[in-house]
Amino acid sequence: MLDLIIILFGFSVLLVATIKDFKSKTIPNWLTLGSILCLVLYRLFEGNFFQYFTAFAYVGITFTLLSWLTKEAIGGGDIKLFLALSLICGLQNVFLVIVMSFVMAFLVSITVCKKEVELILAPFILVSYTILTILERWVAV
């Protein structure tokens, strides 16, 4: 039951982030940092914090380096969304969501966009998370 609550929490956060990203091209800190705080507290009380903390650290280090190397080509709100997802999904699944998100964004950018545009990443993160959750929870049972 708690797994379902965490899954729905993740979906809700990503849905709100997607709507906000479409409207203003920003993801509010209250949403991402609030989610991270709630998830850290949940994982601490759950007792399985080390696995999720490891995922959080890897995602944080990876995106800090990526942001530095690409001169902030990915937004801070997207990075914080991935950090929150690391506390929901764990290491393996968060990297699957990251790869799926970037592949989908790349495919859309080369097929739909004829000129250089700034894509918002939150919808791709939402779709990737949803696909992975469905495949993991309901198809591969």
pTM: predicted TM-score of the whole model, two decimal places: 0.89
Query: Is residue 140 very low, low, confident or very high in pLDDT (cuts 50, 70, 90)?
Result: low
pLDDT of residue 57 exceeding 90, the answer is yes
Residues counted in the chain: 141
Q: What's the rounded Cα separation, in Å, for the pair 88 and 90? A: 6
Q: What's the rounded Cα separation, in Å, for the pair 81 and 30? A: 12
Structure confidence at residue 113 (pLDDT): 67
